[in-house]
Structure 1
């Protein structure tokens, strides 16, 4: 083989090593918080894993698994760059798990700068979770919460099992960007707040003495600025439209006596059918579920069939009520189509959509949405063999 060819092959093989950075040279960001100060400057808080703890091992530095720091700038870019003043390693963003945005920032400055920052930086992942908080973002990022050694990983894993409770959307940067850039769509983000839920083993009688982060509903946006919130019940009604619901617990009352019943929604189907009649737009929403009876806190004397019927009616009413309350806020109060109803209508009636799309923002608040729910309890074993029995 000619020496020139050998030389060229070696150059190609060695090129893969160029630009390689050792892990010990990097400061790996695990969580990021965005606040503002009195001058409307960005206050950026980052949670950085110590090199020995990136994989969950302990023993870094003074025993702390993370290093948390703040920087200030007129923009996110400037605040990020100013981190270099205090970081002894190059700040590396590829492992960032979550972005926490303070509510004031979301309402006044909006999230377009966050979208811009993530779309321009090739280190950042579009699947990074992003949330809004009523608390200071710096406090949420810095709080040691959850079961993980690194708090940022605990915040990320709130979404791993969020579909079990169905109380907040699974919002990431990609979803945020798509809803912001899409025509006639508006963004939504999960709400995360600090609640006094943790118990200190040294003072167990002081229940709820340790703050813990928890999902707490939905932040609704108009274009890039936050305009309102949905609580956890309204968020459950909202999730039918944007993600679907795999599982959710519906607490009910015993049909004929005091006591509580828990029903878990399962085997759910959800359909939105657009209707165009006499130049009016409307939607028929159909929900079907075959939930399981998972808790029976009463010993009813009614016939099983009668109990099932009454419980099914209660579940149907609860589903419809969640959706109706959500629609009242989204349509009447916030007046933004975060439900993608315009897109659904366009899919079925493209010609008619071209006639009304210019007026959709005015039409949306008054669009009629008819909701029906059909529930069939699928696992009434607790009725056959109740733990609590009626005594003479």
Structure 2
């Protein structure tokens, strides 16, 4: 009901704003878009656009559907065109209302289209004044149309569900939080390349329509990232590599790291890393760029299956944690320097800020130069507390 009231309030504000312009427009004359999906169309070089339209009456909890309706909180329409604008205009063939974009939460791009290029997408969605620059932009290997038309369970409006995943992403640190403004800035940059969050549909949960069948309800999962060279996608980063990526490009509240117990690799311990401070210091060695990466953080032991007590294994566990975090950084550096040969870690930007004269020398062949650059990683991660349940009766307390 709370979401429904928010949507109703937004609709009322929208009606007041529109009526203050060229003339009154009734809210029931607008098809309010909350998510957009972009796929490759059937014709060569064409686009297929899918729009998730909110049904305001059903979204606010009304049990009966409006006349001729389905009772679902959303419905989806799709159309094709040789350009994005033509595809959007072709939506008018299916929508009985004017398509309104100002409340869109997310733009979902299929990976095949992303590999073809997103330059037209960036151009259109930054040029149209009705579209918001804080709209999230993501890539999926699923059909983008399917992602935006799937009712995910917890949230009434699926586009809002993806919006909330991004809000809480700072807690888990599983994907880059890239909106259209941020994408546009990096896209126009001469020193960096874009990365976009990855979303996938997973069969999880239990549907009310199939209460005895686990996994019958699809959920949108936010994890990993898509790497671009300018406007074309070149590959994926997995969850571990993405955690390393975020240390370079974002501020993350915390991340969860699972490590083997020091004296028994078959046992596992889980730590929460927080208060991360990452410094990338550029330098020159024999006329070539080099980088020193310093990571300082604290961690809490939140779960353990280790048979050895915490006090006895603290130093060893700390070493395992630093080894795991270092492996995340090394993995994403290897993707940037050698596999994809694309500077999506903003190392060129850092180098340019300190050595603008030398940057002009390297700029035209930066990826080649970066591949041969020396990178040293120094870690200072301390386990400062433990939060362990002892027989379900409490905690062992903090240990500094």
Q: Distance in 2 between matches of 1:387 and 1:367?
A: 51
How does the TM-score come out when normalised to structure 2? Answer: 0.87
Cα distance in 1 for residues equivalent to 2:216 and 2:340: 36
Name the CA distance, whole Å, in 2 between partners of 1:78 and 1:152: 23
Q: Unaligned stretches of 5+ in structure 1?
A: 1-14
CA distance in structure 2 between the partners assigned to 1:281 and 1:56 by the alignment: 59
1:14-93 correspondence to structure 2 within 5 Å: 16-40=20-44, 41-53=46-58, 59-61=64-66, 62-93=70-101
Deviations 1:49-80 (A, max 9, x none): 11325667665533111121111111100000
Q: 1:335 aligns with which of 313, 334, 341?
A: 341
CA distance in 1, matches of 2:103, 2:61: 13
Task: Answer whether contact 1:23 1:51 (CA < 8 A) is retained.
Answer: no
SS at 1:127 equivalent: coil
SS of equivalent residue, structure 2 residue 227: strand
What are the equivalent positions in structure 2 for 1:97-116 lying under 5 Å apart?
97-108=105-116, 110-116=117-123
Whether the aligned pair in 2 keeps the contact of 1:273 and 1:284 (CA below 8 Å) is yes
Residue matched to 1:325: 331
Quote how far apart the aligned CAs of 1:339 are: 0.8
Kindly provide the CA deviation profile for residues 1-39 of structure 1, in whole angstroms up to 9, marking residues without a partner as x.
xxxxxxxxxxxxxx9453443322211001110111342
Residue of 283, 296, 304 corresponding to 2:304: 296
CA contact (8 A) 1:275 1:281 kept: yes
User: Aligned residue for 1:5?
Assistant: none
The equivalent residue for 1:313 is 319
Residue aligning to 2:213 = 206
CA deviation vs aligned residue, 1:280-333 (integer Å, no higher than 9, x gap): 1000001111111111223415x71x4110111111011100111111112111
CA contact (8 A) 1:42 1:76 kept: yes
- Contact 2:262–2:320 (8 Å) recurs in 1: no
CA RMSD of aligned residues (A): 2.1
Alpha carbons 2:206, 2:213 under 8 Å: kept: yes
TM-score for both structures, normalised by structure 1: 0.89
Aligned-partner Cα distance in 2 for 1:247–1:83: 42
Structure 1 contact 141–151 (Cα < 8 Å) conserved = yes
Please give the alpha-carbon distance, in whole angstroms, between the structure 1 residues aligned to 2:371 and 2:83.
35
Given that residues 127 and 173 in structure 1 are in contact (C-alpha distance below 8 angstroms), is that contact kept between their aligned partners in structure 2?
A: yes
Matching of residue 349 in structure 1 with residue 349 in structure 2: no
Number of matched residues?
Answer: 370
The DSSP-based 3-state class of the residue aligned with 2:89 is helix
* Structure with max Cα Rg: 1
Distance 1:205-1:22 versus aligned 2 partners, 3 A rule: closer
Give the Cα–Cα distance (whole angstroms) in 2 for the partners of residues 78 and 202 of structure 1: 38
CA deviations over 1:309-368 (Å, ceiling 9, x no partner): 011111101110011111111211111111111110111122222232233132122222
- Contact kept? 1:299, 1:386, Cα under 8 Å: no
Q: Which residue of 2 aligns with 1:4?
A: none
Aligned match of 2:252: 245
Alpha-carbon separation, structure 2, partners of 1:136 and 1:299: 46
The CA deviation at 1:205 is: 5.0
In structure 2, the CA distance between the partners of 1:123 and 1:17, relative to structure 1 (3 Å rule), is closer
Pick which of 289-298 and 45-54 moved more.
Answer: 45-54
For residue 13 of structure 2, what is the aligned residue in structure 1?
A: none
Structure 2 residues without counterparts, runs of 5 or longer: 1-18, 393-400
Shift in CA distance, 19/122, structure 1 to aligned 2, threshold 3 Å: farther
Where does residue 185 of structure 1 map in the other structure?
Answer: 192
Aligned to 2:136: 129
Point out the structure with the larger strand share. Answer: 2
